[in-house]
Structure 1
Amino acid sequence: MKRTFTEALKNRRTYYSISNQSPISDGEIEQIVNFAVTHVPSSFNSQSTRVVLLLGDSHQKLWGIVKDTLKKIVPAQAFVKTEEKINHSFAAGYGTVLFFEDQTVVKGLQDAFPSYQENFPGWSLQTSAMHQLAVWTMLEDAGFGASLQHYNPLIDAEVRRTWNLPETWNLIAQMPFGTPAGDPGAKEFQPLESRVKIFK
């Protein structure tokens, strides 16, 4: 049964223990991504977000790229734990969603509206963040567990080369997902009094 929007937001959590099983079809996963890209808002209706959905071998290939990249820069002793985390928390999943922002769109807006040019990169990141939250929440609602990772910019060039993506696509985040294989960690909340101000 579908949750309400508030229930879905409340239940969206970070899952580091996931399996390579899926409660829904690949077509339904594609529908989630397509829905978010179609309907999530963007500044000036720029529609600057680009999304790549990796399933099966492509999902595994991504996390192989991450490990190969990190192995070159992480000391051997530390890499053992790094590799273990990637293998059990991210590569173990069913798929990964990659979030990009097309810098051609951002640059076009900067040229078209020079008085706002310094704002467009930040607004672009806000657009991406909204897409990330929407996809994450809908995946959770479908029965997946997910997390948000940031191995960019270390992996950017190899990711673009591997999947033949435009140079203007700037990688923002990676979202591995799969059926939860464990509970999420405890979540603490800071007092609302220090985070929200209301004036009447």
Structure 2
Amino acid sequence: MAHIFEGIADRRSVYALGKNIPVSDDELVEFIRRTTELVPDAFNMKSQRVVVALGDKQDALWDAVYDAFGGKVAREKIDGFKAAHGTVLFFYDQDVIDTMQKNVPAYAQNFPVWAQQSNGMLQFSVWTGLRSLGIGANLQHYNPIIDDAVRQLLDVPSSYVLVAQMPFGSIEAQPDPKVAEDIDARVIVRR
């Protein structure tokens, strides 16, 4: 069990990212593909979609994010994400949810919630796994402002709903230590 806690504890928001990751792009993509396959989704609906931006698409993505905000975000912040090796973009497919709602109407209102839950599990699994590969990452939420730009740049179907963006890369500086908390304020046990 200690191994699980080590992996979870190592997963941190790393903002000082570079382009030189310790695995090949092929190994990285295979890891993301396998993780996406293994993360559960209610009713096995397979609502999650992932797009990995690498190389020129990585740079163009963050330029498009900056442009979508019309200069209202700090260029230095966006350039920090652009400096990363790549970005994992997390989506759910609205067409899948619509089909599930039609086919199982008794749970119609739950499918969007369950898709978000699965997406969160996928984000956490990818993030933790990246760290186990020696890769740093952080999680961003520039959607919905960037949705149209992302859809056009990365040729994403209109049914894909953007949930989060995860820039990743070599760890150029370690994050500050986490501040200890009183976990009993958030975990309550009743017997």
Shorter-normalised TM range: over 0.9
Q: Secondary structure at the match of 2:35?
A: helix
Residue 100 (structure 1) aligns with: 91
Between the aligned residues of both structures, percent identity stands at 40
Alignment partners' CA distance in 1, 2:15 and 2:70: 21
Matched, 1:109 2:100: yes
- Code of the residue aligned with 2:120 in structure 1: it is A
Over the aligned positions, Cα root-mean-square deviation in angstroms equals 1.3
How far is the alpha carbon of 1:185 from its aligned partner? 2.4
TM-score (norm 2): 0.95
Residue 30 (structure 1) aligns with: 29
Paired residues of 2:68 and 2:149 also in contact (CA < 8 A):
no
- Of the structure 1 ranges 189-198 and 53-62, higher mean CA displacement relative to structure 2 is found in 189-198
Residue 45 (structure 1) aligns with: 44
TM-score (norm 1): 0.91
Alignment partners' CA distance in 2, 1:149 and 1:195: 24
Residue 169 (structure 1) aligns with: 160
Listed as ranges, the matches of 1:14-163 within 5 Å are 14-71=13-70, 74=72, 79=73, 82-88=74-80, 90-163=81-154
Alignment partners' CA distance in 2, 1:15 and 1:46: 32
- Code of the residue aligned with 2:19 in structure 1: it is N
Q: Which runs of 4+ in 1 moved over 6 A?
A: none
- Code of the residue aligned with 2:114 in structure 1: it is W
Residue 179 (structure 1) aligns with: 170
| CA deviation map 1:123-174 (0-9, x unaligned) | 1110100110011011111011100001101111121112221100000000
- Code of the residue aligned with 1:166 in structure 2: it is P
Alignment partners' CA distance in 1, 2:110 and 2:26: 37
Alignment partners' CA distance in 2, 1:25 and 1:60: 18
Q: How many residues align?
A: 190
Q: Secondary structure at the match of 2:109?
A: coil
| CA deviation map 1:100-130 (0-9, x unaligned) | 0000111111111212111111111101001
Q: Secondary structure at the match of 1:24?
A: coil
Alignment partners' CA distance in 1, 2:148 and 2:180: 37
Alignment partners' CA distance in 2, 1:53 and 1:174: 10
> Any gaps of 5 or more consecutive residues in structure 2?
none
Alignment partners' CA distance in 1, 2:122 and 2:146: 21
- Code of the residue aligned with 1:119 in structure 2: it is N
How far is the alpha carbon of 1:189 from its aligned partner? 3.9
